[in-house]
Amino acid sequence: MELYTLARIIHVVSVVIWIGGVAMVTMVIIPSIKEMNSAKDKMASFESIEGKFQTIAKITTILTAITGFYMVEYLNAWQHFLQLKFWWMHAMVLVWLIFTIVLFVLEPFVLHKLFKKYMQENPENTFRIMHKAHWILLILSIITIIGAVAGSHGWYFIK
Ligand code: HEM
């Protein structure tokens, strides 16, 4: 098997696990945690579940980037970043960059402390904002997946 095909398989499987996990957290886990009565239970459940997923997300974002940049190099597709019809290439890098900054920088150094502080002050509002942020990232990721699958098969939506 060609290394390029293997890279493509790893790329797609990583994206499925990573964005699938984000979908699960957004559409199932946060709504059920929101229904819990005590703020203490809410925080403990969220931290335990999201904490476990974070390691998976970190590994899959790294694999997505390694295989993604390998494919750009293999396809000699760097000039695609200069063309509007390859907007989905920009979207892939943007989604990856946002998640990388959140997972490796913001969460450990800023968000974790902020989350604890705001959870003590106003748990309802904290979960509302967090849920919204998850939806925004999920929708952006789904648009990117639609654009990437269509675009890599020659359907660009724009000229
Ligand atoms: C550093 C970030 C990334 C780079 C450099 C990258 C690069 C690439 C490249 C070069 C391709 C092949 C394009 C072609 O065949 O013309 C590709 C395909 C694809 N990428 Fe990415 N990607 C990245 C991140 C992402 C992210 C974050 C997602 C999902 C949200 C994603 C989803 C996909 C999908 C669904 C395909 C199409 C696979 C197929 O239909 O066979 N990629 N990517």
157 within a domain of the structure (yes/no)? no
pLDDT digits (tens, 9 = 90+) for 113-139: 999 899 889 999 999 999 999 999 999
pLDDT digits (tens, 9 = 90+) for 41-65: 999 999 999 889 999 999 999 999 9
DSSP state, residue 157: S
Is the CB–ligand 1 distance for residue 11 below 6 Å? yes
133 within a domain of the structure (yes/no)? yes
41 within a domain of the structure (yes/no)? yes
158 within a domain of the structure (yes/no)? no
16 within a domain of the structure (yes/no)? yes
Structure pTM? 0.96
DSSP state, residue 37: S
Please tell me the residue having the least CA distance from ligand 1 atom 17.
68
Overall number of domains in the chain:
1
Tell me whether residue 12 is exposed, middle or buried, using C-beta atoms within 10 angstroms of its C-beta: 0 to 12, 13 to 18, 19 or more: middle
| Distance of alpha carbon 129 from alpha carbon 135, whole angstroms | 10
140 within a domain of the structure (yes/no)? yes
Is the CB–ligand 1 distance for residue 64 below 6 Å? yes
Q: Tokens for 6?
A: 């293997």
Full residue range of the structural domain in which residue 53 is found: 3-151
Is the CB–ligand 1 distance for residue 144 below 6 Å? yes
